[in-house]
Amino acid sequence: MRDIVDGLTAWRAAGVAFAVATVVRTWRSAPRQPGAAMAVSAHGEVLGSISGGCVEGAVYELCLTSIETGKARTQTYGVSDDDAFDVGLTCGGTIEILVQPDVAMTEPDEVLAAIRDGRPVATASVENAQLVVWPDRAAGSLGEAGLDHAAAQQAAGMLALGTTGTVHLGAHGEQRRDEVSVFVQSYVPPPRMIVFGAIDFAAAVARIGRFLGYHVTVCDARPVFATRKRFPDADDLVVQWPHRYLQSTTVDERTVLCVLTHDPKFDVPLLEVALRTPARYIGAMGSRRAHRDRLRRLRAAGVDEAALARLSSPTGLDLGARTPEETAVAIAAEIIARAWGGSGRPLTDLETPIHHL
């Protein structure tokens, strides 16, 4: 939804009706995960994708019907690998789609504004009703007070964790029953990527980080290098000693730290701090010789082996990268593999599922 929020906001401002199709559940090798969204306007315009092209044509028609009737509906697409191509789901997986017209959405302008501004909000949806949950309040109804209370509690918990998925409740909100399937979608601020070292490689990493959906900060102690002209893709530019900035900023389990400073007086104090944070990924650029020297200095500073094991150094996968852009791809590939449990090996050499759960 974050990818299409600007387009939806423009349609709302222009008074154009639309419907949003959202992946709510998947089985086997489905191409997109729950939360992937595609929108269709009453004029036939399309935003986003829910299957990488497999069933978009069928879902397009469902959206137009939903706009015309003002009613939501759920549709499942799934066939065997042998005959998948005939109906469009060429991957052979199964996906369940929830199609909702804008008239069935609760507080759509407020929800879109929150998503656009990076403020946390969650929606809890059944076919023709929606509950919206913010950290401090809720709006809308699923049609029954007990169900609203239980769904709001579930959505608040999932929002705190930044998770999306289907919860099963009783018709009156009973926790151990499953008459009602409620799709909860959490919208939280994008994860952070903090790039240390204002060098040409950092500009390429910032560019690919933003492409991947991170909120990118570039930090360097040298104001002559940390400039907007050199880093147009960074969301934030910070001129400060890297370790001091890292001590003062928020780092959580989704944060990615890329240390490209190439200088022990910067990167050793920085990594001492970084390895004490819960960051998902901590990578440091440099040769193997620089890596060995870095480990020696960190051990001398009292960093233990368990912490050192978290360090990806030299950073990136072995792609034979040469240019800053190629190196950025190698770093991004390792970040993605670390997040989803990928091996980094060619898919053609493997028999495992393409999409890791």
Element (H, E) at 130: strand 129-134
DSSP 68-85: HH---EEEEEE--GGGHH
| pLDDT of residue 101 exceeding 60 | yes
Whole-number pLDDT of residue 90: 52
Q: What does the alpha-carbon distance between residue 109 and residue 8 come to, in Å, rounded to a whole number?
A: 9
Whether 169 and 147 have beta carbons less than 8 Å apart is answered as yes
Q: Could you report the per-residue pLDDT of 143-158, keeping only the tens digit for each?
A: 999 999 999 999 999 9
Provide φ and ψ at 19, rounded to 5°: -130, 150
**pTM, to two decimals:** 0.74
Tokens of 252: 């959580």
- Exposed/middle/buried for 233, CB within 10 Å: 0-12, 13-18, 19+? middle
> What is the band of 84 on the pLDDT scale with cuts at 50, 70, 90?
very low
Whether residue 31 is preceded by a cis peptide bond, meaning omega within 30 degrees of 0, is: no
Q: Could you report the per-residue pLDDT of 32-47, keeping only the tens digit for each?
A: 788 899 999 999 999 9
Distances (CA, A) of 203 to 116, 223, 227, 316: 25, 15, 11, 16
The angle, 0 to 180 degrees and rounded to 10, between the axes of the packed helices 200-211 and 324-340 is 40
Q: What does the alpha-carbon distance between residue 279 and residue 256 come to, in Å, rounded to a whole number?
A: 6
- pLDDT, mean of residues 100-116: 94
Averaged pLDDT of the chain: 90
Of 157-161, 204-208, 311-315, the poorest mean pLDDT is in 157-161
Distances (CA, A) of 351 to 77, 327, 354: 24, 28, 9
| pLDDT of residue 87 exceeding 50 | no
> What is the band of 28 on the pLDDT scale with cuts at 50, 70, 90?
low
Whole-number pLDDT of residue 81: 43
Helix (H, G, I), strand (E, B) or coil at 111: helix
* Dihedral sign (CA 345, 346, 352, 356): positive
Q: What does the alpha-carbon distance between residue 126 and residue 142 come to, in Å, rounded to a whole number?
A: 7
| pLDDT of residue 230 exceeding 70 | yes
> What is the band of 85 on the pLDDT scale with cuts at 50, 70, 90?
very low
- pLDDT, mean of residues 59-67: 95
Amino acid present at 346 = P
Of 50, 107, 111, the residue nearest 75 (C-alpha): 50
Cα 248 from chain centre: 24
Of 12-16, 24-28, 187-191, 349-353, the poorest mean pLDDT is in 349-353
- pLDDT, mean of residues 195-207: 96
Whole-number pLDDT of residue 53: 67
Taking 3-state DSSP, the helix, strand and coil percentages for the chain, each rounded to the nearest 5, stand at: 35, 25, 40
pLDDT above 90 coverage of the chain, percent: 74
Whole-number pLDDT of residue 264: 84
Distances (CA, A) of 125 to 105, 129, 166, 176: 9, 6, 9, 19
